[in-house]
Structure 1
Amino acid sequence: MAGNLKLGLRENWKQFTILVTVNALVGGMIGMERSIFPQFAESGFGISSKTAILSFITAFGITKAIANYFTGRLANKFGRKTLLLFGWLIAIPIPFILIYAPNWNWVIFANVLLGVSQGLTWSSTVVMKIDLVGEKNRGFAMGLNEFAGYFAVGIVAFLTGFIAETYGITPCPFYIGVFISIVGFLVTAFWVKDTRIFVHKESKIDNTTELDNVFLETTFKNKTLSSVTQAGLVNNLNDGMIWGLLPIVLLSLNYNNENIGIITAIYPTVWGIGQLFTGKMSDNYSKKAMLFWGMFLQGLAILLIPFSSEFYVLVSISAILGLGTALVYPTFLSTIAEATSPKQRAESIGSFRLWRDLGYAFGALISGITADLFGIDYAIFLIGGLTLTSSLIIKFRMPEQIRNNVLK
């Protein structure tokens, strides 16, 4: 059967489409919490401390990061589909825990499960799509993958905000999660096929130098991989801050749940739709330039938030933040895929996603503590400054040439 396999998006469009659908469902599970959680914490559990409210993002970020790493390490051993299916199985009880949680510790536990689930499911779909398409349209494939996931985040964030405004903060918004998790599990079980066999085929024609230590090279040593990794961490660090603090800022400006849902949804929606274009751009244009300008735009947008209160200004800032994130997100993954050999790709992506999603935890902790001690504006300025610094690291550390080739 291996001899009949062909790498490519067009050649494997049916399985690719199923995986895009699955990743949209994966993103929807995040969107369920995106616009309503700070208010859910205050109204349901009486929690007003920014650090305490953001503790759910910290729990989510740490567990997702660890799950990402082990998904990368175990993908070749147990198979991508097995890990994907297990991730969906873990997701099913999450909305029920949120609906019936007697105290905030149960909410934290639900987000621990969500982190594990997201790490297993999202990492698996990323690696499977890269397996299928080969080298030619890798950036476009990652753009489609991340578009599906983050467009779904935005849509479900808007829906939960609308439902919360109409029917209350709980339980109705969480019914969306019940539907998503069950459908995701069933689609994976019946229609997704494992892709390890495609890795064997690509390995025969690839001449990329293998890394001595995938984790250390991805984290520190390799200038390309480590530059991408630090930017990924800072990207999710600022996303963790936006996730936790932006709804609180909007509440302080007396916006209702529906308008908070719109403003918070614009960012991941533009992020999602933009990746349809930026993913393909990363196949044809300088990845380094895209990463620099993406991080720069993010930092600029974040620094404008404390100076803004008008609805359409905040919508515009949310859109600029989404555009900046769209420039970098598929480019992160396509850059790592190009810089690593097929045999080591899953582990390198897992290492990158470990650090990237630890950014959620760092962002929630840093911004929560800073907001409690000095005020929300100072937390936003700090995160914006770190994001601009990350863009400069890309500019001055990352080389233009990504791939290191050797003769086999």
Structure 2
Amino acid sequence: MSLRDYPKSYFLLCIVAFLSMFSIMLTNPILSIYAKDIGATGVMIGWAVSGYWISRVVLEMPSGYISSKFGYYTPMAFGLILTVLGNVLMLFVRDPLFLVIIRAINGFGAPFFFAVSMTFIVNLVDASKRGQAMGIFQGIEFIGQIIGSTLSGRIVDSLGWQGGFMTALLLSAIAFALFIVPPYIRRETVQGPTAQPLKIGDVLGVLKNKTLMVIAAVTLAEFIMTSGLINTVLSVYANETLGFTLSEVGYMMGARSIGFVIAMFTMGSFADRIGRKPVLLFGLIGTSTLIIVMSGFTTLLTISAIIAIIGFTSGAIWIVGPVVSAEAVSPEQRGAAIGAYRTFFDGGSLIGPIIMAAVMTDYGVKPCFYLAAGLMLVTVPFVFMIKETGEVKGEVIAH
């Protein structure tokens, strides 16, 4: 299946995902700075960043059950509505506790849209092109995240925090309009899956799958690094200790997009050809090494260059993770498997800022780099345990 053969709903989902993630990340990378501006200190800074992920952890697993019961279209539309609502409420944040609460409300929308749309895409294409389809979708989603990160400092510098929140609201409203107005997604997905709805026990049952649990551990470690080290500690360290302006912090974070764009167009197809495991190992070992290397530099150019390469290596993990998760279970369990994958995705993003903020407060910045790299390297031996059959047997090709 070439890209020309993909239905219009696939490309529309990519656009909506881009705009939605753009809106989410427009202020997220420098939210730790905003939290300090309104009075947050210590671990509360970590909670301010993690608030968005609290509700996501709760809802990712049930999203597989919800999509099997109600179809794809309704949960995705509901998720986008919640994202818009969360961005409206961000305009009224005035203290750290309120920020945590509103970020939690904002996070309720993501599982309904992103987890359900990923399940839809996994079921849309055959196994031979699944890596490419998921790679492009996640890549475009991530580009929205990186562009938002890149522009965040510049927009807040120019428009103030309220202007940044208003811009995020506008982007999320456009995403919602693009989703509900054109008929493509509604026509194709409104009837949802044809199988019987999952039972709650089936949703929890996927957690017994060893391959899925390996991917869960890898994902947890990677997002502790991304959300805790890069998005929380590094942004504060760069601004307060290294003296980078908000715009420079945004550009530094945005450098990751260079590597990820390359990964988006190469690593998914590469994994389709040589297997998922080699790509996953490359991502883990490469990212861990680069984190240690980055801890020794203090200039904007060198840190940005390393973050760009980290975008490529960590992109390999992002692209392959959900594909292996879906392929490790039977087709009717894919929604639950994607939900489980994203639960640990969110879990790392939730606890990462809290852990890293605590380590930074008590021990300094350098140990945060070592901890992030160490957690990722610990998962490498478990990845070697994944077995790929190289062929489709009941659509389960990894175990």
Q: When the two structures are superposed, what TM-score results if normalisation uses the length of structure 1?
A: 0.88
CA distance in 1, matches of 2:280, 2:251: 27
Q: Confirm or deny: 8 A CA contact 1:291 1:391 kept in the other structure.
A: no
**TM-align CA RMSD:** 2.5
Match in the other structure for 1:152: 144
**Superposed displacement of residue 195, structure 1:** 3.1
Q: Indicate yes or no: 2:276 matched with 1:287.
A: yes
| Distance change >3 Å, CA 406–CA 135, structure 1 → 2 | closer
Give the match's secondary structure for 2:145. Answer: helix
Q: Which amino acid counterpart does residue 150 of structure 1 have in structure 2?
A: F
Match of 1:226 among 203, 213, 219: 213
Q: Confirm or deny: 8 A CA contact 1:149 1:272 kept in the other structure.
A: no
CA distance in 1, matches of 2:145, 2:113: 15
CA distance in 1, matches of 2:91, 2:391: 48
**Superposed displacement of residue 236, structure 1:** 1.1
Match in the other structure for 1:206: none
Q: Confirm or deny: 8 A CA contact 1:367 1:380 kept in the other structure.
A: no
Match in the other structure for 2:319: 330
| Distance change >3 Å, CA 215–CA 355, structure 1 → 2 | farther
| Distance change >3 Å, CA 153–CA 323, structure 1 → 2 | same
Q: Identity over aligned residues, as a percent?
A: 20
**Superposed displacement of residue 338, structure 1:** 2.1
Q: What are the superposed Cα offsets for residues 233-263 of structure 1, whole Å, 9 maximum, x if unpaired?
A: 1111111112111111111100111111111
Q: Indicate yes or no: 2:364 matched with 1:371.
A: no
Match of 1:313 among 289, 302, 307: 302
| Distance change >3 Å, CA 161–CA 356, structure 1 → 2 | same
Match in the other structure for 2:133: 141
Q: Indicate yes or no: 2:90 matched with 1:101.
A: no
Q: Indicate yes or no: 2:34 matched with 1:47.
A: no
CA distance in 1, matches of 2:389, 2:27: 40
Give the match's secondary structure for 1:369. Answer: helix
Q: Indicate yes or no: 2:22 matched with 1:35.
A: no
Give the match's secondary structure for 1:54. Answer: helix
**Superposed displacement of residue 77, structure 1:** 0.4
Q: Confirm or deny: 8 A CA contact 2:206 2:337 kept in the other structure.
A: yes
Q: Which amino acid counterpart does residue 135 of structure 1 have in structure 2?
A: A
Match in the other structure for 1:173: 164
Q: Which amino acid counterpart does residue 300 of structure 1 have in structure 2?
A: T
Match in the other structure for 2:234: 246
CA distance in 2, matches of 1:198, 1:117: 19
Q: Indicate yes or no: 2:72 matched with 1:118.
A: no
CA distance in 2, matches of 1:262, 1:275: 20
**Superposed displacement of residue 339, structure 1:** 2.2
Match in the other structure for 1:84: 76
Match in the other structure for 1:75: 67
Give the match's secondary structure for 2:105. Answer: helix
**Superposed displacement of residue 311, structure 1:** 1.6
CA distance in 1, matches of 2:203, 2:261: 28
CA distance in 2, matches of 1:163, 1:225: 40
Q: Which amino acid counterpart does residue 113 of structure 1 have in structure 2?
A: I
Q: Which amino acid counterpart does residue 223 of structure 1 have in structure 2?
A: K
| Distance change >3 Å, CA 176–CA 30, structure 1 → 2 | same
Give the match's secondary structure for 1:309. Answer: coil
CA distance in 2, matches of 1:402, 1:184: 38
Give the match's secondary structure for 1:401. Answer: strand
| Distance change >3 Å, CA 392–CA 57, structure 1 → 2 | farther
| Distance change >3 Å, CA 65–CA 403, structure 1 → 2 | farther
CA distance in 2, matches of 1:190, 1:166: 32
| Distance change >3 Å, CA 249–CA 403, structure 1 → 2 | farther
CA distance in 2, matches of 1:71, 1:122: 10
CA distance in 2, matches of 1:68, 1:216: 12
Match in the other structure for 2:222: 235
Match of 1:23 among 14, 17, 24: 17
Q: Confirm or deny: 8 A CA contact 1:72 1:347 kept in the other structure.
A: yes
Match of 1:128 among 116, 120, 129: 120
CA distance in 1, matches of 2:391, 2:56: 28
Q: What are the superposed Cα offsets for residues 67-115 of structure 1, whole Å, 9 maximum, x if unpaired?
A: 2111112111011111111111111132332222121222112211222
